[in-house]
Amino acid sequence: MVYTALFPKWWFRVQLTHAPSEKQPQRGEKTFLEQLRDTCPTLADPKQAHYIPSWVMPHGDMQTIYLYTQHYKPAGCPVEFKREIFEFADGGKAAVDWALPLMDTRPDSPLIILIPGIAGCSFDFYSRSLITKISQQPYGYQVVVLHSRGVNGVELATPIAFHGGMTEDLREFVEHIASSRPHAPLVGLGFSLGANILTKYVGEEGDSCRFVAAASVCNPYDIDVTVNSMCLPSLKNRYLYAAALTRSLVQVFAENEQVIMAGNVKLNDKAILASRNINEFNEEYTAKIFGFSSAKHLNTSGSCVQYLKHIKTPMLFINALDDPMCYRHTIPFSEIEANPYLVLACTRYGGHLAYYEGTGLTPWLPRQLAQFIRGMLEWK
């Protein structure tokens, strides 16, 4: 338990990892880090950058569990969406939710593309709280949420669903947006597994990336290490985190079983439905359907850590060291420090996508990401 009043303020300082200033990209008179410090002071200014968890629930497990309960309570962050069904070149379909009201829709107005976590959606609390913040003044940005196939009420149109390193759908959607809005600055925001997908995509694109900036929140970085850690026989894995994630994957399969089993890949539906952890599910379904030799091959190929060195887009990473799902030992400090386009902001506390502060349990993340988006769009 963390009794916040008993610790000095420096204990809660946000720790930044980045390349030396002389190596960072520069626009005008400011480097990447200087722009962050000026426009995101509560995240990057050493004098102001602190995250003090709420004393009501300071621990990462408590915050993470509480966040999950808020997914079913839209009050306080009421957001409405206009749904579009996006069809990919292979015939697959995914839900695309445009936050309402539609803000500045001029051809050159910024557009924020949000990629949720595993089987996540636009109604998850971390999505709604962020959209509420950045769609209102003084920001007023248009937000669109790209879902994975087979989630949020859209049934699979092909046997292929998704995996943690699947960047093809994001690439196709971004190309569609870029062709319809060629002058619109695009900013990518990824959460949890969506952060891995976004980071891998930005690295794959390199100098050709369509995003002017991107942010990754609670990224697992190394999927194989993360999944193997989740498969360890602990009570939390068996009854909380790994169990919940496995259930969400099995549910996607169960809801689309008829379409999946009608495909050309031979699958054992009983084994898939009986999966006890993510590795078992990936071994029986995901690896086979995507043509990988094993779950390990799938996990290692899909991990974004190997693509960090190729990123040429200003990108912010935010991780909590007490995250019970994306572990401290997977954070690639040296790889991030080696790339001048990357800045990592680590907090001691915050859990997984939670980051509550104060007695009112106010989410801390939306303010940081809103400042980052505005700072990057103004950095010229």
Residues labelled catalytic: 192, 323, 352
Residue 173: CB atoms within 10 A of its CB come to 18
344: its two tokens: 């990592």
CA–CA separation, 260 and 249 (whole Å) = 13
Calculate the alpha carbon distances from 255 to 251, 290, 356 in Å.
Answer: 6, 19, 33
Q: Is the CB of residue 41 less than 8 Å from the CB of residue 345?
A: no
Q: Is the CB of residue 67 less than 8 Å from the CB of residue 126?
A: yes
* Alpha carbon 199 to its chain's center: 9
Alpha helices for the chain (secondary structure H): 32-39, 41-44, 60-70, 125-134, 168-180, 193-205, 223-230, 235-239, 241-255, 257-261, 269-273, 278-281, 287-289, 295-302, 333-338, 365-378
- Looking at the chain, how many residues does it have? 380
R_g of the chain, CA atoms, integer Å = 20
